[in-house]
């Protein structure tokens, strides 16, 4: 059955909640405040449970029904004692066998590519690309052998300790077979794959970009007069990276040495029979979020942000619903379960305003994968189940009109919705520029293989023609330190932002802020396909003319990057609320709350108190003390560039930024030496190309 909480139940629950301080002023502005969640799990959240939800020794296991398929998810799907090994009912399709003539044609093409590639020679890069040639012909001739080929090579070269789990036929094996069968492995595609995935080639540089005919119209000159502020503010919530672990096991090892911690099947090798650090009920630094933490965060938002009295205009959720599981422990059903339960919780706790969702890299099966429609046939449609289901849920929750749902079904779950207040929100599927999406290694010199940038450009042109303002939302950031997205598509994105800023694009919002620079212990736990988590990075600035000159005159648009609810890795849990002018849709102020994960063990074995979400900082007050700026002027790209200039003259402000980057985590390191100019450079890098060209590498993470 579909579980729904009536309004009276929510009011009753909030009424008994212990509130330490609450934001409540005569003019409705937000003030610093704290909120302590009740320790007992709110049993009224769900109508039925597989277990006793009041127990402190185990996480609640609600009975969840899918409103689209009308099926009830079985307890075995989330049973902490029953881990599925493979989703054998939904294998990925494989490319059809090639004819002899095709094999010959491809052999000729690839030999020519290798012969013309200057990196080919007696080096590791050449060997890698030559090996890919062999894999290509195997994938074309006998595709069913591709996964086994990958597993055997993985084991032979000791590439991973989980070869069968990661590259078997029910995991990434079919994906790799599809990609190698379609890629130019002797050219740019192969070099990119050998560089990004194996570290055996130098990274290929950004390909030349030809924008002839890309834009239907030139940028207006002069720009249309700016919309005047209304002086009235609306509240917008930004939440991201929940990473629900439905199999979180309270009391089990929270400091494990392999796989996902806080699970019954993982332990610390120093103490295999007893937990060194028992998993607290509300979460731990090396674990994804249990349902108790997620419900706690959602309970806290109306209280601390004052939205019970002054409702949110809307909410942005910038992706990542699933836990960081091994490939063989994921399935379509697990994805759909996570979508259903989280969207229902959003609906219950966040008020009547819509939630605009963008898909993250941990919202698909397999993780981070999205096949471009240009692959054709069955291969192009292999993720339609995801886009159809998630868009149907958005319609079911009354968050999107039918027109936006149809766009989402046809554009990788990307859509445009025009609100009644005039703001257009464009959601992108940024898996299509994510470096761990193997499909992005096919025809990689083309910056828009998927058509996502074409979709974005056309929607922005329509908005410009109508005189509307636009917010863009996505998951994987376009720049920062340049380690997560690919060069070519984010280079094109940067030019699109330049064309339509500042008169059309008011703001950009990302989530993710996950990157692959981990300590040796994390690499050992998650193999070489690392999880990518970081922090509450604040902003990213976009300048004119590809950032060749960066100053207050050239700063056009900026991106806000939201904090994660999950603590993984070494982070506190948090969320942010923006105050937004109701006419210009510029952010006028921003407020961030966090909950200290290091205090969670103290909450075990009692139910009176749960996590406290305390006011962490006000963006304007924290970074703008020495900047001359009107109290109602927006925190736009110009203001943020002034912040970076202040950081250059006052390096202690970079340390403040770094502290909040980890949401005030006690485990965040200091930022000094090269870290200071690196962080400033990251903030000024709106594309991976600019970051890779300009910035010192190695300081993107606070972990």
Coarse DSSP helix, strand, coil percentages of the chain, rounded to the nearest 5 percent: 35, 10, 50
Average pLDDT over residues 74-81: 92
Domain with CATH 3.60.21 in the chain: 237-253+284-589+620-694
Please report the pLDDT score of residue 537 as a whole number: 55
Per DSSP, 64 falls in state -
- Model confidence at 88, pLDDT cuts 50, 70, 90, reads confident
Q: Residue 674 CA to chain centroid, in angstroms?
A: 27
Distance, in Å, from the CA atom of 148 to the CA atom of 163, rounded to the nearest integer, reads 10
Question: pLDDT band for position 279 (50/70/90)?
Answer: very high
Q: What is the pLDDT of residues 103-128, one digit of tens each?
A: 546 644 664 665 466 775 678 888 88
Give the tokens for residue 199: 């570290």
Report the pLDDT averaged over residues 530-534: 41
* pLDDT at res. 302: 96
Instruction: Flag whether pLDDT at 513 surpasses 50.
Output: yes
Burial of 551 (0-12, 13-18, 19+ CB in 10 A): exposed
How many CB atoms within 10 Å of residue 663?
A: 26
Q: Check pLDDT > 70 for residue 529.
A: no
Q: For the residues 408-416, what does the mean pLDDT come to?
A: 98
Average pLDDT over residues 551-568: 96
Query: From the CA atom positions of the chain, what is the Rg in Å?
Result: 25
Structure confidence at residue 192 (pLDDT) = 96
Q: What is the pLDDT of residues 614-648, one digit of tens each?
A: 999 999 999 999 999 999 999 999 999 999 999 99
Are 535 and 571 in contact by the 8 Å Cβ rule? The answer is yes
In this predicted structure, the answer to whether residue 551 has a pLDDT above a threshold of 70 is: yes
- Are 458 and 466 in contact, with CB atoms under 8 Å apart? no
Task: State the pLDDT at residue 135.
Answer: 85
Give the mean model confidence (pLDDT) for residues 156-175: 90
Residues 639 and 629 sit within 8 Å (Cβ to Cβ): yes
Residues 690, 480: Cα–Cα separation, whole Å: 9
Query: What 3-state class would DSSP assign to 471?
Result: strand
Question: Is beta strand 505-510 parallel, antiparallel or unpaired with respect to 424-427?
Answer: unpaired
Residue 510 parent element (H or E): strand 505-510
Q: What is the pLDDT of residues 651-674, one digit of tens each?
A: 999 999 999 998 989 999 999 999
pLDDT of residue 116: 63
What does the pLDDT average to over 173-181?
95
pLDDT at 262 over 80: yes
Q: What CATH number should be reported for the domain whose range is 237-253+284-589+620-694?
A: 3.60.21
Q: Average pLDDT over the chain, rounded to whole?
A: 89
Residues near 692 by beta carbon (within 8 Å), at least 6 away in sequence: 203, 482, 487
pLDDT in tens, 573-595: 999 999 999 999 999 999 999 99
The per-residue pLDDT for 134 is: 85
pLDDT at residue 114 in the model = 57
Reported as a pLDDT band with limits 50, 70 and 90, residue 151 is confident
| pLDDT for residue 470 is more than 70 | yes
Check residue 374 and give its pLDDT.
95
Q: Find which of 11-20, 255-264, 439-448 is predicted with most confidence, using mean pLDDT.
A: 439-448
DSSP sequence for 435-463: TT-GGGGSSTTSTTSSSHHHHHHHHHHHH
Contact 109, 103 (CB under 8 A): no
Is the pLDDT assigned to residue 371 strictly greater than 80?
A: yes
Confidence of residue 15 (pLDDT cuts 50, 70, 90): very low
Choose among 174, 172, 164: nearest CA to 197. Answer: 172
Average pLDDT over residues 121-149: 85
Beta strand segments in 259-395, E: 314-317, 355-357
Separation of alpha carbons 322 and 369, rounded Å: 14
The whole-number average pLDDT for the span 377-382 is 96
Residue 27: predicted pLDDT: 67
- Read off the pLDDT of each residue in 542-570 and give the average, rounded to a whole number: 96
Strand order in the sheet with 505-510: 415-418, 424-427, 470-473, 505-510, 555-561, 539-543
Give the confidence band of 687 by pLDDT, cuts at 50, 70, 90.
Answer: very high
Apex CA 594: angle with CA 589 and CA 595, to 5°?
Answer: 165
Tell whether the model's pLDDT for residue 524 goes beyond 60. Answer: no
**Span 296-354, pLDDT tens digits:** 999 999 999 998 889 999 999 999 999 999 888 899 999 999 999 999 999 999 999 99
Share of the chain above pLDDT 90, in %: 75
- Per-residue H/E/C for 516-570: CCCCHHHHHHHCCCCCCCCCCCCEEEEECHHHCCCCCCCEEEEEEECCCCCCCCC
- How high is the pLDDT of residue 94? 87
Position 493 confidence tier, pLDDT thresholds 50, 70, 90:
very high
Judging by DSSP bridges, how do beta strands 233-239 and 314-317 pair with one another? parallel
pLDDT at residue 18 in the model: 43
Residue 243's pLDDT band, with cuts at 50, 70 and 90, is very high
- Taking residues 385-392, report their average pLDDT: 98
pLDDT above 70 coverage of the chain, percent: 89
Ramachandran angles phi, psi of 103, nearest 5°: -60, -45
pLDDT for the residue numbered 618? 96
pTM here is 0.88
15, HSE (Cβ side, Cα atoms, 13 Å): 6
Structural element, H or E, at residue 573? strand 573-581
Q: How confident is the model at residue 23 (pLDDT cuts 50, 70, 90)?
A: very low
- Nearest Cα to 280, choosing from 309, 244, 248? 248
Give the tens place of pLDDT for each residue, 30-53.
889 899 999 999 999 999 999 999
**Residue 531 or 618, more confident:** 618
Contact (Cβ atoms closer than 8 angstroms) between residue 368 and residue 196: no
Residue 15: helix, strand or coil by DSSP? Answer: helix
CA-nearest of 544, 491, 538 to 693 is: 491
- The DSSP symbol for 357 reads E
């Amino acid at each position: 059955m579909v579980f729904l909480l009536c309004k009276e139940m929510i009011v009753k629950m909030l009424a008994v909640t212990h509130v330490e301080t609450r934001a409540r002023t005569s003019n409705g502005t937000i003030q610093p405040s704290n909120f302590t969640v009740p320790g007992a799990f709110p049993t009224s959240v769900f109508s039925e449970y597989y277990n006793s939800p009041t127990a402190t020794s185990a996480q609640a296991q609600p009975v969840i029904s899918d409103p689209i398929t009308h099926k009830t998810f079985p307890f075995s799907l989330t049973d902490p004692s029953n881990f599925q090994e493979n989703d054998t009912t939904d294998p990925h399709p494989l490319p059809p066998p090639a004819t002899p003539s095709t094999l010959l044609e491809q052999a000729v093409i690839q030999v020519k590519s290798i012969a013309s590639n200057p990196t080919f020679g007696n080096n590791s890069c050449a060997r890698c690309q030559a090996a890919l040639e062999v894999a290509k012909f195997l994938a074309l001739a006998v595709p069913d052998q591709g996964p086994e080929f990958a597993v055997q090579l993985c084991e032979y070269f000791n590439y991973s300790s989980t070869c069968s789990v990661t590259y078997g036929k029910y995991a990434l094996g079919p994906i790799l077979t599809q990609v190698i069968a379609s890629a130019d492995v002797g050219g740019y595609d192969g070099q990119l794959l050998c560089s990004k995935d194996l570290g055996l080639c130098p990274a290929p540089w950004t390909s030349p970009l030809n924008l002839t005919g890309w834009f239907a119209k030139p940028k207006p000159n002069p720009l249309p007069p700016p919309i005047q502020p209304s002086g009235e503010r609306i509240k917008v919530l930004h939440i991201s990276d929940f990473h629900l672990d439905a199999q979180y096991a309270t009391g089990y090892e929270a400091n494990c040495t392999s796989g996902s911690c806080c699970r019954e099947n993982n332990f610390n090798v120093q103490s295999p029979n007893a937990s060194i650090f028992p998993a607290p009920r509300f979460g731990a630094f090396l674990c994804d979020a249990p349902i108790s933490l997620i419900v706690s965060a959602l309970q806290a938002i109306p209280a601390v942000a004052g939205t019970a009295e002054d409702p949110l205009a809307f909410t942005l959720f910038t992706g990542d619903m699933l836990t960081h599981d091994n490939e063989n422990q994921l399935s379509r059903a697990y994805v759909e379960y996570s979508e259903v339960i989280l969207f229902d919780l959003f609906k219950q706790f966040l008020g009547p305003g819509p939630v605009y969702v963008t898909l993250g890299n941990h919202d698909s099966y397999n993780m981070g994968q999205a096949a471009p429609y240009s692959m054709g046939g069955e291969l192009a449609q292999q993720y339609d189940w995801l886009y159809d289901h998630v868009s149907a849920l958005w319609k079911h929750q009354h968050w999107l009109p039918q027109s936006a749902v149809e766009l989402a079904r046809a554009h990788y779950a990307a859509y445009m919705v025009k609100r009644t207040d005039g703001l257009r929100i464009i959601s992108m599927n940024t898996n299509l520029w994510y470096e761990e999406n193997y499909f992005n290694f096919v025809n990689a010199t083309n910056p828009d293989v998927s058509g996502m940038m074409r979709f974005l450009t056309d929607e922005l042109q329509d908005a410009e023609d109508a005189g509307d303002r636009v917010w863009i939302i996505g998951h994987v950031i376009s720049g920062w330190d340049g380690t997560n997205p690919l060069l070519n598509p984010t280079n094109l994105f940067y030019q699109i932002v330049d064309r339509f800023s500042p008169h059309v694009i008011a703001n950009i919002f990302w989530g993710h802020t996950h990157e692959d620079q981990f300590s040796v212990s994390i690499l050992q736990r998650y193999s070489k396909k690392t999880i990518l988590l970081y922090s509450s990075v604040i902003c990213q600035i976009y300048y004119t003319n590809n950032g060749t000159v960066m100053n207050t005159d050239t700063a056009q648009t900026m991106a806000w990057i939201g904090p994660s609810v999950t603590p993984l890795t070494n982070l506190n849990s948090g969320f942010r609320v923006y105050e937004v002018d109701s006419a210009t849709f510029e952010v006028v102020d921003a407020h961030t709350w966090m909950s200290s994960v290091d205090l969670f063990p103290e909450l075990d074995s009692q139910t009176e108190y749960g996590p406290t979400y305390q006011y962490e900082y006000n963006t304007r007050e924290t970074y703008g003390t020495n900047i001359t700026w009107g109290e109602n002027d927006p925190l736009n790209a110009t203001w943020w560039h002034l912040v970076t200039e202040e950081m250059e003259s006052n390096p202690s402000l970079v340390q403040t930024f770094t502290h909040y980057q980890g949401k005030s985590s006690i485990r965040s390191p200091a930022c000094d030496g090269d870290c200071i100019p690196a962080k400033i450079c990251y903030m000024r890098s709106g594309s991976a190309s600019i970051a890779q060209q300009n910035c010192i590498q190695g300081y993107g993470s606070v972990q």
